[in-house]
A and B are shown apart, each in its own frame.
Chain A
């Protein structure tokens, strides 16, 4: 165990990120989902800050700060406002059997880990071993978007996927250039707002946020 302490902390936070992804997958309540998303953002910001400290890369501090402001405070706040307006604060969604989803999730995690192992052996960053976890987080968020029926949890799955991608970028290459990161962050923010507007339109059209109703929209 000759790894430096910062690397161990990043590993711990990566494990936490994965755990939160699984928790989101098994969560039925919308409000708790948003809280979990905020926690995932916090873990992401902390791990980015530790990588920044360990490697001395200034721009990573900026992206850590950006993550903190955007993903821990702003987006959860916007989502809170949205679910208040839509009166779905206490919405409970019936899912396909949770243990089955979890076992599928374990399968995905194993797939992601085995995929990432050869890549991380070639990398030389201190965070290389967390690439598999980042990939698993992305796949789990994908799974969440697939198994959910309501619109809001799907958007939360999308945001969680972005978290995973961001983490993958940090762990593989110490982050993208600052310009790209700023662009992505802005995209996510604008996306959240647009989704919010979509929610209202979907509900106006169908009286529900269940996206199964959208299947009726095809042309004959």
Chain B
């Protein structure tokens, strides 16, 4: 059996996600600037930033251990792998057997552990503070994320992302209250995990409010570029998981190259819409106090559990 086209497609998909991630970030920033009546920066600004950072010389604190140096590559690698196993364009990929939702959550957890370790490794108070806050958010968001994914898994009878997408994309139209609950919970987890506004402000370096930024303060040059790139990929991967679970229309069939342009167009449209929606959420909400994050995320967990229970009760 010929594996070559599948592998080519797999490579194409992961390269597409990795290279398009800064573009999506630029689009979100652009929409946000428009909504706030500012003149928008160029949509290519994240690329310029990355290029600039790659040309600088890296500075590393003399007290750090190798973990600090390795972490940017681990983060980038984890996110690249995640981009490879989530069905973004097509469902039948060589990596598909690895696309188990539990493995995916584990992959994100690995990245989070390394980021926190590296932040603590520098020995600065900001690093430790950021790491502790990140772990607080992480341990609250992870069960909610798993419950959300389990709801979709129960509906389609499998924890394989590709199987979930296939069974959800080809069902006849029906209203699923459980999926509606899960979608809201997933949105809340997405905001928390990607350090977006109600939980964290990605545009601030104010010491009291930083979560994600506090962890990466010590990074410079190519390390910083990789960390930020990884964050952008993470956002896109979360968005595409959301599409895969809750709006899987337009995704290409197994080995169907003719459907590829349509899948690409659908993906671009969905990403544009999701980016604009994210900017809208970030404009309308204010950042909440750190201690309210536990309420926010227990709300997400509650919604996810309700979704699962509703599935058992009404079979839909």
**A contacts, CB < 8 Å to B:** 1, 3, 5, 8-9, 11-12, 14-16, 18-19, 22, 26, 98-99, 102-103, 105-106, 109-110, 113, 116-117, 129-130, 132-133
In the complex, besides A12-B180, A99-B294, A117-B313, 16 extra interface pairs with C-beta distance below 8 angstroms are A5-B175, A8-B174, A8-B175, A9-B175, A11-B314, A12-B177, A14-B314, A15-B306, A99-B298, A102-B299, A102-B302, A109-B309, A110-B309, A113-B313, A116-B313, A130-B314
Task: Write the B39-79 contact mask toward A (1 if CB under 8 angstroms, else 0).
Answer: 00000000000000000000000000000000000000000
Q: Closest CB of chain B to A23's CB: distance in Å?
A: 9
Report the bound CA distance from A12 to B174 in whole Å: 11
Judging by beta carbons under 8 Å apart, are A19 and B181 in contact?
A: yes
Task: Write the B152-189 contact mask toward A (1 if CB under 8 angstroms, else 0).
Answer: 00000000000000000001101101101100000000
Report the bound CA distance from A81 to B19 in whole Å: 58
Q: Which of B172, B178, B181, B316 has the most chain A CB atoms inside 10 A of its CB? A: B316
Nearest A residue (CB) for B298 = A99
Q: Count residues on chain B whose CB falls below 8 Å from chain A CBs.
A: 23
Q: Closest CB of chain A to B20's CB: distance in Å?
A: 35
- Residues of chain B contacted by A130 (CB below 8 angstroms): 313-314
Judging by beta carbons under 8 Å apart, are A3 and B295 in contact?
A: no
Nearest B residue (CB) for A133 = B313
Report the bound CA distance from A199 to B302 in whole Å: 33
Nearest A residue (CB) for B178 = A15
- Residues of chain A contacted by B192 (CB below 8 angstroms): none
Contacts A1-B174, A9-B175, A110-B309 given; does A129 touch B299 at CB 8 Å: no
Judging by beta carbons under 8 Å apart, are B316 and A98 in contact?
A: no
Tell which of B181, B299, B302, B312 touches A15, judged by Cβ atoms closer than 8 Å: B181
Report the bound CA distance from A26 to B306 in whole Å: 15
- Residues of chain A contacted by B316 (CB below 8 angstroms): 1, 3, 8, 11
Contacts A102-B298, A129-B313 given; does A12 touch B181 at CB 8 Å: no
Contacts A102-B299, A106-B305 given; does A11 touch B312 at CB 8 Å: no
**Can you sample 26 A-B contacts with CB below 8 Å?**
A1-B172, A3-B174, A5-B175, A8-B175, A11-B177, A11-B310, A11-B316, A12-B175, A12-B180, A14-B314, A15-B177, A15-B178, A15-B310, A19-B303, A22-B306, A98-B298, A99-B294, A102-B298, A103-B298, A109-B309, A110-B309, A129-B313, A129-B314, A130-B313, A130-B314, A133-B310
Q: Closest CB of chain A to B205's CB: distance in Å?
A: 30
Task: Write the B275-316 contact mask toward A (1 if CB under 8 angstroms, else 0).
Answer: 000000000000000000011001100110110011011111
Sorted nearest first, the 10 A-B pairs with minimum C-beta distance are: A15-B177, A99-B298, A1-B174, A8-B175, A129-B314, A11-B314, A12-B177, A132-B313, A102-B302, A12-B175
- Residues of chain A contacted by B309 (CB below 8 angstroms): 109-110, 113
Report the bound CA distance from A26 to B302 in whole Å: 11
Tell which of A3, A19, A116, A117 touches B306, judged by Cβ atoms closer than 8 Å: A19
- Residues of chain A contacted by B310 (CB below 8 angstroms): 11, 15, 18, 133
Report the bound CA distance from A3 to B309 in whole Å: 19
Tell which of B178, B181, B299, B305 touches A26, judged by Cβ atoms closer than 8 Å: B299
Q: Closest CB of chain A to B263's CB: distance in Å?
A: 25
Report the bound CA distance from A218 to B290 in whole Å: 44
Report the bound CA distance from A183 to B305 in whole Å: 37
Q: Which of B171, B174, B295, B313 has the most chain A CB atoms inside 10 A of its CB? A: B313
- Residues of chain B contacted by A117 (CB below 8 angstroms): 313
Report the bound CA distance from A130 to B171 in whole Å: 23
